[in-house]
């Protein structure tokens, strides 16, 4: 299984902070995002933001990163602060 986490406004808009997915061969972070966007129209809209960031096992990565069983994938908006 892959644990998927949502942070900040994503968590609020999707009304969930996490879920579990079954890993498949050659599954990338982009494929996970595409699968989740098929949940319904709200998910498609929220997850279509151009500036979404993704992390695997608490390290920011790119959309071609291969994900495997046991990994933790997190989606979040850009972080700002001061």
Instruction: Tell me the two tokens of residue 60.
Output: 């920011």
Is there a domain that residue 26 lies in? yes
Counting Cα atoms < 13 Å in the Cβ hemisphere of 46 gives: 22
Range(s) of the domain holding residue 71: 2-76
pLDDT at position 50: 87
The per-residue pLDDT for range 5-43, each reduced to its tens digit, is: 999 999 999 999 999 999 999 999 999 999 999 999 999
Task: Tell whether 82 is covered by a domain.
Answer: no
Q: CATH no. for residue 18?
A: 3.10.20.30
Number of structural domains (the chain) is 1
**Angle, alpha carbons 21-29-45 (nearest 5°):** 85
Q: What is the pTM assigned to this prediction?
A: 0.92
């Amino acid at each position: 299984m892959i644990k998927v986490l949502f942070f900040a406004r994503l968590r609020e808009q999707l009304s969930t902070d996490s879920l579990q997915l079954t890993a498949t061969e050659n599954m990338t972070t982009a494929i996970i995002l595409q699968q989740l966007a098929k949940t319904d129209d709200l998910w498609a809209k929220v997850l279509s933001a151009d500036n979404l960031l993704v992390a695997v096992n608490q390290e920011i990565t790119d959309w071609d990163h291969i994900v495997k069983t046991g990994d933790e994938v997190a989606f979040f908006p850009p972080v700002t602060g001061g």
